[in-house]
Amino acid sequence: MTKLLAALVASLFAVSTAFAATHAGAPMAGASGAKAAAPKKEEKAAAKADKKDMKAEKKDAKAEKKTAKKSSKKKAAKSDKS
C-alpha cells in the first residue's frame, strides 16, 4: 500500500512539474483578453473618426458646389441684363 501511495504521489508531482514547465510565462486567457480588446477599441475609434472626417469633407464639397452654382447663375443673370 505504501508503494502504491508513493507511486501516486510521485506521478502527481511529475505531472504538476511538467505542467508548470510548459506553462511558465504563458499569460492567462482572461489577462490576455483584456489586452487584445484594447487595440480593437482603438481601431474602431480611428475608423469612426475617419468616417466623420469623410462626412465633413463631403458636406464641404456639397456646399462649395452649391456656392459655385449660385455664382454662375448670378453671372448668367448679369450677362443677360447687359
Indicate the number of domains in the chain: 1
- Give the cell for residue 56: 465633413
Strand, helix or coil at 74?
A: helix
pLDDT of residue 81: 63
pLDDT of residue 63: 93
> Could you tell me if residue 55 is inside a domain?
yes
Distance, in Å, from the CA atom of 33 to the CA atom of 36, rounded to the nearest integer, reads: 5
Secondary-structure percent of the chain, ordered helix, strand, coil, rounded to 5: 90, 0, 10
> Could you tell me if residue 16 is inside a domain?
no
> Could you tell me if residue 12 is inside a domain?
no
Specify the pTM: 0.42
> Could you tell me if residue 20 is inside a domain?
no
> Could you tell me if residue 64 is inside a domain?
yes
> Could you tell me if residue 13 is inside a domain?
no
Summarize pLDDT for 12-34 with one digit per residue, the tens: 777 777 666 666 665 555 555 55
> Could you tell me if residue 2 is inside a domain?
no
- Give the cell for residue 60: 464641404
Provide the domain limits for residue 73. 37-82
> Could you tell me if residue 66 is inside a domain?
yes
